[in-house]
Amino acid sequence: MTDAILFASDIDDPKPWREVIAERFPELEFRVFPEIGRPEEIRYALIWKIEGGVLRTLPKLQAIFALGAGVDQILIDPEFPRHLPLARLVEAGLAEQMSEYAIFATLYFHRQMAAYFAQQKRQEWRMLPGRHPAERGVGVMGLGMLGADAAKKLQFIGFRTAGWSRTPKHLPGIECFAGPDQLEHFLARSEVLINLLPLTPSTRGILGKALFDQLPDGAFIVHLGRGGQLVVEDLIAALDSGKLGGAMLDVFPQEPLPQGHPLWTHPKVVVTPHASTAPIASLAMGQVVENIRRVGAGEPLIGLVDPEVGY
């Protein structure tokens, strides 16, 4: 019987993946969804996302490899085969790129770049009062692969950096908060709030009025997690009331952000099109190749996800 790997993504090009699989695992046939062929021949699924219920119909599936760091778009399938190993991308150069974005956004707000750009348009020469980074509280929500890297680098630049995670963490120089009980204290000192949480039932809609109200007045939001965490109406209301000073947003509940959406033109908002990171294909392929080897050897996968916690 033929063994095959099923590829499914509406954002990734299958061609380089087909080549690397052909080179490293010539015994595996490469099939691109919806051309599944005989379902019992599929051993592995390599997916960004796939129609709900499909994975369940593959009786010999051994492992699922996500083509991203987040897996909410895969676990949303109520019929997802939870007994099978699911690995996300952790070795694809994402942390460095995400930290660049987090640092850029923090400096953009900290150095009042929106105000200076507006002054330049008016040809107005006026120095605004600034602050030392040690006086600026920056808070990173999520201290995993991406959040921990961003927090470390922001702390190195000199910001008064804190982080919030589900389970307690100890990171040198970073004030670490954990769990719902400590969220209030974490938010109260976060003048720049960077969201790098995974989308799970506990984090859906977390960037909403109740959270914004607990931030210092004039705080800035940097949203890099997943669109479903943001309540857009609450964000716009908080920006318009002056509760929030600005927002830099990379992910949205609806992507692409529709033409004419108020966030495109809001004077306090910077929009980027889910562009904060792009997996480096050679690294991502290396991880998947190694994980296929590990499945064969019965070894634990790199980037293994716990479907019960959702990340």
Question: In the complex, which residues of this chain contact ligand NAP (CB under 6 A)?
Answer: 69-70, 94, 142-147, 164-167, 196-200, 202-203, 224-226, 250-251, 274, 276-277, 311
**Cβ proximity to ligand NAP, 82 vs 132, nearer residue:** 82
Residues 6+ apart with CB under 8 A from 197: 141, 142, 147, 203, 206, 225, 226, 229
Contact 68, 97 (CB under 8 A): no
Residue 217 corresponds to which tokens in the numbers above?
A: 């007045």
Question: Least CB distance from residue 72 to ligand NAP, whole Å?
Answer: 6
CA distance 270 to 114: 9
Which H or E run contains 262? Answer: helix 262-265
CA distance 257 to 259: 7
Question: Least CB distance from residue 224 to ligand NAP, whole Å?
Answer: 5
**Cβ proximity to ligand NAP, 139 vs 144, nearer residue:** 144
The residue number whose beta carbon is nearest to ligand NAP equals 144
Question: Least CB distance from residue 31 to ligand NAP, whole Å?
Answer: 26
Residue 21 corresponds to which tokens in the numbers above?
A: 């699989």
Closest CA relative to residue 55, chosen from 28, 88, 86, 12: 86
Question: Least CB distance from residue 168 to ligand NAP, whole Å?
Answer: 8
Q: Return the half-sphere exposure (C-beta side, CA atoms, 13 A cut-off) of residue 268.
A: 18
CA distance 69 to 21: 21
- Which residues are known catalytic residues? 226, 274
**Cβ proximity to ligand NAP, 31 vs 226, nearer residue:** 226
**Cβ proximity to ligand NAP, 13 vs 19, nearer residue:** 13
